[in-house]
Amino acid sequence: MNLQSIAIIATCVLSPLVIMWLTYRFKILRQIGNIILAYAIGCLLGLFGLIPNTPEVHELQSQIAAYAVPFAIPLMLYSSNVKAWAHLAPNFAKSLIAGLVACVAAVVIGFFIFKGNDADRFAKIGGMLTGLYTGGTTNIASIKVALGVDNATYLMVHTYSIVVSALYLLLIVVFGKRIFGLILRPFNAIDAEEVAKNEDADQDVSTHDDELFNGIFRRDILPGVGRAMLLTIAIIAIGFTTKFLPFVSEDAFQAVFILTISLLAIVASFVRRIRRIKRTFEVGTYFILVFSVAVASQVSVDMFANMDYSFMLYTLVVTMGALVMHVIFNKLMRVDVDTTLVTSISLICSPPFVPVMAGALGNRAVIGPGIAVGLIGYAIGTYIGFAAAMLLIALA
C-alpha cells in the first residue's frame, strides 16, 4: 500500500471524527447535520482535485464505502423496536408500490422524449435504468445479459447514473425534507415511540445528537460499544459465509449479504441486553459518515466532460421524474415525508443508503423498513426492468 492510499484511507476514516466533533462543538453545524457536512466535504475534496481522479483511487474509495456499510447497518439496528415497525408497514408498502410505478412511468416518458431514431437502444437503456432504480447493480447486470446490451452502452449506464445519482443524493439528503415536507405530511412517530416506551420503559429512545462525539468516548460507554463491535464483526463474518453457499451466485451475493446481516441484527435487537447498549446507533452513524465521505469524494469535474447529452438527460429525467411522481403518488395516498424519502433512496440508490437518509432525517425508526424495501427491489428489479424494456420495444 502506497502513501497515497494511506492518505485517502486516513481522510475517509478521520474526517468523520472531525465532523462529529464540529457538530458537537457548534450548534449551527449541528443544525445542518453531520451527514450533510460529510457529503459537502467529500464533494469539495473531489471537485477541487484534493483526491486524485483515477480508476485506482475510485476503486479504493468504493472499497472503503463497501466496508463501512456492513458495520453501520447492524449497529444502527441493535436499538430497533421491531414491534413498532408494524405501525409503519402500511405506509412503506404503499410507498414501495408508488416508487415502482413512478420509476416505470418516468422511464416511459423519458423514452418518448429522447428516443429519436435510436428507439431500440433507448428501450434497452430504459430497461436497465428501471432495473437499476428499482433494484441495483445486480439487476442491471442480469438485464444486460438478457437484452444483449453491448459493453459500451452498459458502461455508459453506469457512468451517467453515478453522475445523476450524485445530484439526486445532494437534493434528497440536503434539501429533501425541507422541500417535500412542504407537500407531504410529517412523519408520525407517536405510535412507534409509544410501543418502545411500553415495552421497555427505562430504555433510552432519544437520539443524543448533541452528544454524538462526546458520548461515544465516555468511560462508561466504551465497554458496551466494544461488545457491540465484536457482535457486529461476528455478524459480518456469518454474512460473508453466504458467499460460499451453492445457491448464492456472485451477482446475488450483495443482496443476500445485506439481508443476512440485517436479519441477524434484528434478531439481536430482541435481546434486551443488546438493545440497551448505549450509543450503538451513534457508532453506526460514524461508519455512515465514513461511507458518505468515500462516496461523495468520487465526484469530479471530469464526470461532466465528454458526455452523450441525450442519454445524460434521459438518465436525469428518469431519476428526477421518478422522485417527483413518487412524491405526487404518496401525497395522494397520504404517505409521510420520511417514509417517502427513505423508500425513494432505498430503491434508487439501494439499501446501504437507507441509514444515510435516516441520519439526515434524524429518524432511526425508518431504517429497518427502508432496508426491507430495498431488498424487495433487489428481488424483483430484474423482472421489472426486463418487462419495461419489452414494453418500450413494443411501443416503439
Which residues neighbour 305 within 8 Å (Cβ) at sequence distance 6 or greater? Answer: none
* The dihedral formed by the CA atoms of 144, 149, 151 and 154, expressed in degrees to the nearest 10: -60
The predicted pLDDT at position 200 comes to: 46
The predicted pLDDT at position 288 comes to: 83
Cα–Cα distance for residue pair 394/322, rounded to 1 Å:
22
The predicted pLDDT at position 195 comes to: 45
* The dihedral formed by the CA atoms of 103, 161, 385 and 98, expressed in degrees to the nearest 10: -20
The predicted pLDDT at position 305 comes to: 67
Amino acid letter for position 6:
I
Sign of dihedral through CA atoms 109, 113, 119, 125?
negative
The predicted pLDDT at position 291 comes to: 85
The predicted pLDDT at position 173 comes to: 86
- Which one-letter DSSP state was computed for residue 175? I
Amino acid letter for position 384:
I
Which residue in this structure is represented by grid cell 468516548?
A: 217
Cα–Cα distance for residue pair 85/199, rounded to 1 Å:
13
Q: How many CB atoms lie within 10 A of CB 136?
A: 26
The predicted pLDDT at position 96 comes to: 94
Q: Locate 393 and state its grid cell.
A: 420495444
Q: What is the pLDDT of residues 270-327, one digit of tens each?
A: 898 998 888 888 888 889 889 888 888 887 777 666 667 788 899 999 999 999 999 9
The predicted pLDDT at position 190 comes to: 55
The predicted pLDDT at position 203 comes to: 42
Which residue in this structure is represented by grid cell 445523476?
A: 164
pTM for the structure as a whole: 0.74
The predicted pLDDT at position 205 comes to: 37
The predicted pLDDT at position 189 comes to: 63
Which positions of the chain have pLDDT values less than 70? 31, 84, 137-138, 189-215, 251, 303-307
